């Protein structure tokens, strides 16, 4: 069972002015046989607040996976990618590249995504968009690869390819 944190990055959400629909959408996507949401929070679009939560969940709570939602675009307050880059130790660019590539089939705005993915210790951190639909769709792109990735991150020595 993989322990997951869902971090919503939203000024309005942090002030209680907007209901967080994206986190619920993300949680619905995660098969309960493999994933348990162990942490959830809403923080404002402030780099230091995002960094603090990512570090806490990685270093103290030792979550296996952190999924952020929100703050991945080009608006001045979209700082989730910068916060993620500040804490990850090893990038995993293929995850964000796959999400962008799949999203381009639906909208040209996908090329504006600055989402990041990477490892901090044994925690995989992935940035998802802020809208519930886009978060669901983007998570759906990477979800098939996550169990294998998380097993490898935890030290599995099983062979990756078939004979």
How confident is the model over 37-63, as pLDDT tens digits? 999 999 999 999 999 999 999 999 999
- pLDDT, averaged across the chain: 95
129 has pLDDT over 60: yes
Q: Of 65, 98, 72, 91, nearest to 10 (Cα)?
A: 72
Residue range 14-24, pLDDT digits in tens: 898 889 999 99
pLDDT exceeding 70 applies to what percent of the chain? 98
Q: Is the model's pLDDT at 155 over the cut of 60?
A: yes
Delimit the domains of the chain by residue range: 2-37+45-152
Pairing relationship of beta strands 90-91 and 117-120 according to DSSP bridges: antiparallel
pLDDT at 161 over 70: no
User: H/E element holding 125?
Assistant: strand 123-128
Confidence (pTM): 0.95
Average pLDDT over residues 133-151: 97
> Which pLDDT value is given to residue 156?
77
Greater model confidence, 64 or 158: 64
pLDDT at 68 over 60: yes
Which pLDDT belongs to residue 162? Answer: 53
Average pLDDT on 94-109 reads 95
Architecture of domain 2-37+45-152: 3-Layer(aba) Sandwich (3.40)
Mean pLDDT value of segment 131-155: 96
- The set of residues, in sequence order, having a beta carbon less than 8 Å from that of 85 and lying 6+ positions away, is 116, 118
Nearest to 66 by CA among 40, 48, 91: 40
Q: In this predicted structure, what is the pLDDT of residue 74? A: 95
> What is the band of 94 on the pLDDT scale with cuts at 50, 70, 90?
very high
């Amino acid at each position: 069972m993989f322990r997951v944190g869902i971090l919503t990055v939203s000024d309005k959400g942090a002030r209680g002015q907007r209901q967080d629909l994206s986190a619920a959408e993300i949680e619905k996507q995660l098969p309960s046989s493999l994933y348990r949401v162990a942490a959830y929070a809403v923080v404002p679009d402030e780099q230091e607040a995002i960094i603090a939560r990512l570090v806490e969940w990685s270093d103290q709570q030792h979550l296996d996976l952190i999924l952020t939602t929100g703050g991945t675009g080009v608006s001045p307050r979209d700082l989730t990618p910068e916060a993620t880059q500040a804490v990850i130790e090893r990038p995993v660019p293929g995850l964000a590249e796959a999400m962008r590539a799949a999203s381009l089939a639906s909208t040209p705005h996908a090329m504006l995504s600055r989402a990041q993915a990477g490892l901090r210790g044994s925690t995989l951190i992935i940035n998802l968009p802020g809208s519930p639909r886009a978060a669901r769709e983007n998570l759906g792109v990477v979800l098939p690869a996550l169990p294998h990735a998380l097993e490898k991150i935890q030290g599995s020595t099983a062979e990756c390819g078939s004979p």
